[in-house]
Amino acid sequence: MAFISAGDFRKGITFEMDSTVQVIVDFQHVKPGKGAAFVRTKIRNVMTGGVIERTFNPNEKFELAHIDRKKMTFSYNDGDLYYFMDNESYDLIPVSKTLLEDALNFIKENSMVEIAFFKNSAFSVEPENFVELQIVDCEPGIAGATAQPGSKSATLETGYIVQVPLFINNGEIIRIDTRTGTYMSKAKS
């Protein structure tokens, strides 16, 4: 078991606190003129996603949490369970819809995702940073509108609605940045 003191906290470190796993979102070491130094943090519970602000004594010690990350392929869903295939063992792992959150906007069958596990329990599913999805509904494109400013709404095959340039047509495949949920470009054919 490895431990970390609050004085060594940095962004992205995962640790166990009160039987939960927390990740440090932000931190600040504070040394006031009077009184003892402390560490002001913003921490997120990796299982629930809840963010809290908390101060720690720099000498407090916590057990480091070991997080496993695996690239997996989305296979299918059955009600509220979504099944992902381990690309090494070919095992199917069920993940509850509640854990998928916004990832569902960007994944379809055979999409690659990264799943984070703590003690063999999945707690987070992240799509690749850039995905290519087909537009299933949008107003017709305006010919020659490549230099024209403006955008229109387009519904993707996953049901996600994104703003696209005026020249984009129904049925086209576009590239999306999943971190911001925005249109990047037409997919290269």
How distant is the alpha carbon of residue 13 from its chain centre? 16
Q: Are 135 and 168 in contact (CB under 8 A)?
A: yes
Segment 78-95, tens digit of pLDDT: 988 999 999 899 999 998
Q: Are 116 and 124 in contact (CB under 8 A)?
A: yes
- The amino acid occupying position 139 is E
Tens-digit pLDDT string for the chain (189 aa): 789 898 899 888 889 988 888 888 889 988 888 888 999 999 988 877 788 999 999 999 999 988 888 999 999 999 889 999 998 999 999 988 877 878 899 999 999 999 988 888 888 888 999 999 999 998 886 665 555 678 889 999 999 999 998 888 889 999 999 988 999 998 876
- The phi-psi region of residue 147 (left if phi > 0; otherwise alpha if psi is between -120 and 50; otherwise beta) is alpha
| Full set of structural domains in the chain with CATH | 3-64 (2.30.30.30), 67-127 (2.40.50.140), 131-186 (2.40.50.140)
Segment 23-45, tens digit of pLDDT: 888 899 888 888 889 999 999 88
